[in-house]
Chains A and B, each alone.
Chain A
Amino acid sequence: MGNELGDKAREEFLSEAQEIIDRLSRDLLLLDATTRVGPPDPDLINGVFRGVHTLKGLCGLFNAMRLSALSHELENTLDDLRLGRTQLSPDLLDQLFRAVELYNRLLASSKEGAGLDEVDEELESFIRELRRRGAPASVSASQSIAYDLDANMLAVLTEYEEHRLRTSIEQGMRLYRVRVAFQLVTIDDQLESLKLQIKPYGEILTYLPTGSGADADSIELEILLASSESVEVLSGALSKLNGVIEEMPRMTATTGPPSTGAPPPSLMSDPLSMHASVAQPTALPARLTLAPHPGVAKSTKTAAPLASKREPTLRSVAQTVRVDIQRLDHLMNLLGELAIVRGGLERVVDQVRAEPALRQLTRDLGRLHHGFDRHLAAMQTAILEVRMVPLGQVFEKLARVARQASREVRKEVNLVITGAETEVDKLIGEELSDPLMHMIRNALDHGIEDGESRERVGKPKAGTIALNAYQKGNQVVVEVEDDGAGIDDRRLVQAAIDNGALSESESNELSERDRLELIFLPGISTRAEAGKLSGRGVGMDVVKTNIGRLGGVVDVHSDLGIGSKFTITLPITLAMISALMVRVSDQTFAVPLASVQEALLIDFSEIRDVEGREIATVRGKSLPLCRLNELFELQRAQHPANGSRLLVVVASAASRRCGFVVDDIEGRQDIVIKSLTGPLRSTSGFAGATELGDQRVALVLDVPMLLEEAMSSVSLSKRSARPHG
């Protein structure tokens, strides 16, 4: 599609479309949340409509027919919705959410460029359903109370504004007219602040220039305001404005037109009426009678948020540039090169320093080197920052999943998100969404009880799943907490025994924490049958492994009857991790610190041989040992430095724990991991390599993989057939 526009333009289109769809999803979620407590926010509905409208234009431009067709139908439906021709039902919301899923799928296939000409069954049936919905509900009107509105004003109302006007009156709001003079230079800012001031009290329906009483530099606007507050309250709220507020006369109370008849405003001369959507003056009778429906005449307590009217359409608001993540990787690599140059420079500085005759030069060079150092560090920070995205991006997707899942299992659940602004590396964010999705599904399926059971034990009927994120030092913590039934650790233990993962006697030695940790074992479920959502073969073990791959760890806490909490701790950035540098034989290896529990010296007397495997006893617990030099088939170190003791680095991942025997620990270091390429891609046991300052390269251990290998009876190196050669 759009080949003549080039790949770059197409990419831009795809990412822009994705952004719009994401925003759409966000708005829908908000809409879903707000409609539960009050009338739908017209602002949001309008936002959704505009999003789809923009998308339609975009898709048309890029000849994305299926996306375009979907947008077109949706636009019609949403237009009916925002003009009050249809009501927002849970059913319709469901359909809108389905549209988002559909958008995402279509967009994904557009990305691959696959099946563009085929008829998409799902799309076709979805569009048919949307059309079937069609028939708008008529707006009821009775004659009890009426407002006498200036025909000139009514004449310029857009259909949307007219709808808002009707709705406001139906909700029993009072109408006010506010006249305010604005300075032309600052009118945009002033209007914005006015909107903010009014927002808590009511909704601005429309505004028009009066054309009177203004000098050359200012303009007087007449603002039509709907509010349930009294004129005194509004005057107080808007005291700073120097405006005149008056309540619109009601027909039943007074007769005759309002005394301050505004002169006919001309659409063309009004810069503010240049609305993005076509503002067609509707032919209306000179006096329109608008009245609330008797049934809904009670005033709404929550003030309706105002409908934002003017959007800057030509100037893009966001000062952002989209960048391919690979380019950032490239920058990171360049930075790595600079770091190596710095290392070389340092050695030269040291050499020069040794020359007494060059003292002055040494000082200068030292200063330059120091400056270089500082700027390099600043640059590294800056590049890492560029890669950061707020976790909110991930959480939004999850909110959608949670909503859908809660409907599937018919459990009422509130997803409470905090810390959405917490930032992580883009790649971590992407990789995190699947594990989090599993955890939320688990919480819904296994954690949260059904409404009746909850009420029996005195919990609120709707369950709560909290998704909290916050930064903690150099790490980011993400918590998934539910107020469900908690995890029954006895059933976990039983399941583990049934599964053969644990013997009866072993099970008696487990601490409470250990018992809960069993949830991370593969194939463990406390359910006899798989749930509707989870229990589809992907368990917590996969979650733990995936998070481990990101250098993170998962912990679980649970109180029976009260709820469970999973805590994920992640490094903020993938690009740079902390590692423990260890030596085995003559080689240096990096062990990601995230998977290191501790380093120990273990006396030979503490080690026994069990079926050909060395097991140490540490603080009363068994720790299987693994000699890295044997695993890697390296020469044994010439002079074991530690005498009668072994130096052991205890590593853990996904509930596996093992002590790796090393010859020496060289220290801690922040490293940049580079992946192994070419024929080395298939070499197991290494997550990549990293450059040390002195031009040497150290391999980074893939701890989860090595643990698996060390713990399984047959070593992987023997199992995997070596490539010839």
Chain B
Amino acid sequence: MAEKSRAYASLARVTSEEAARSEFLAFRLDEEVYAVEIARIGEILRVPPVTDVPRSPDRIMGVAGVRGRVLTVLDLRRRLGLGQPEPTRHARILVLPWSENESVGLYVDAVLQVYRFAEADIELVAEGLGGDVGDHVIGVARVEGTLVVVIRLEPFLEL
């Protein structure tokens, strides 16, 4: 009995460590490296033809048809003050479901790799970058000398 409960205890410890470490997908926007939590990503697509929507906010690239649905595609490069190079063959759309029926697409110049960060690895913005960043930035992580900015998309989804 005692053995068994010890086993359970160690199992619990492993799980909690697992939970604390989340996976993030890193991608490139212009020359910068950003990341979003992998759990948030529905799928990754090659860039389909994107139709420009007149009079839409500038963070919106347009709409694309994805298997019978019309997907709104965000392009955050201008909003983040980055250059906007023409899409290469590495360009992708990350599809992020954000409600039961709706997804939003995020244009990225290239998908890089998956990182596993523990909570402690992500420096909160205030310490890392100073106060002057948008509320879309969760924090930054340093990996092999590169600065990875972990972001969330909610602020961009507001009307």
Contacts and interface: CB of A to CB of B under 8 A. Distances in A.
Interface of A: 333-337, 340, 587, 631-634, 674-686, 688-692, 695-699, 717, 722-725
Q: Which of the four size classes fits the interface of chain B? A: 20 to 34
Contacts, number: 98
A697 B49 CA distance: 8
Contacts of A336: 68
Contacts of B60: 679-680
B157 A680 contact: no
A699 B72 CA distance: 12
Contacts of B55: 632-633, 683-685, 717
Contacts of A724: 57
Interface in B99-130: 102-104
Q: Which of B55, B56, B57 has the most CB of A within 10 A?
A: B55
A695 B68 contact: no
B48 A587 contact: no
A723 B57 contact: yes
A141 B4 CA distance: 88
Given A689-B63, A690-B70, 9 more contacts: A340-B67, A631-B54, A674-B69, A677-B103, A679-B59, A679-B72, A683-B55, A692-B65, A697-B49
B68 A697 contact: no
A34 B67 CA distance: 55
Contacts of B53: 676, 680, 683, 686, 699
Contacts of B51: 587, 689, 696-699
23 contacts: A337-B67, A587-B51, A632-B55, A676-B53, A676-B72, A677-B70, A679-B57, A679-B60, A679-B104, A679-B156, A680-B53, A680-B56, A680-B72, A683-B55, A686-B53, A692-B65, A695-B49, A697-B63, A698-B51, A699-B63, A724-B57, A725-B59, A725-B79
Nearest to A692: B65
Contacts of B48: 695
B70 A723 contact: no
Contacts of A684: 55
Contacts of A633: 54-55
Contacts of A334: 68
A685 B53 CA distance: 10
A674 B69 CA distance: 7
A678 B67 contact: no
A545 to B, nearest CB: 21
Q: Tell which of B72, B79, B156 has the most Cβ of chain A within 10 Å.
A: B72
Is chain B's interface secondary structure helix, strand, loop, or mixed overall?
A: loop
Interface of B: 48-49, 51-60, 63-65, 67-72, 74, 79, 98, 102-104, 156-159
Contact of B70 (A676, A682, A717, A725): A676
Contact of B49 (A333, A680, A696): A696
Contacts of B158: 679, 723
B70 A683 contact: no
Contacts of A690: 70
Contacts of B71: 677
A695 B52 contact: no
B129 to A, nearest CB: 20
A722 B49 contact: no
Given A679-B60, A684-B55, A723-B57, A333 B157 contact: no
Contacts of A631: 54
A691 B72 contact: no
B156 to A, nearest CB: 7
A678 B104 contact: yes
A676 B57 contact: no
Contacts of B57: 679, 722-725
A417 to B, nearest CB: 37
Contacts of A676: 53, 63, 70, 72
Contacts of A680: 53, 56, 60, 63, 72
Contacts of A689: 51, 63, 65, 70
A678 B102 contact: yes
A631 B159 CA distance: 21
A685 B54 contact: yes
Contact of A333 (B56, B68, B102): B68
A420 to B, nearest CB: 34
Given A688-B70, A695-B48, A699-B51, A679 B159 contact: yes
Nearest to B158: A679
A334 B72 CA distance: 19
Contacts of A725: 57-59, 79
Contacts of A698: 51
Contacts of B98: 678
A680 B156 CA distance: 11
A697 B65 contact: yes
Contacts of B103: 677
10 tightest Cβ-Cβ pairs between the two chains A and B: A632-B54, A337-B68, A336-B68, A691-B65, A678-B72, A674-B70, A333-B68, A697-B51, A689-B70, A682-B159
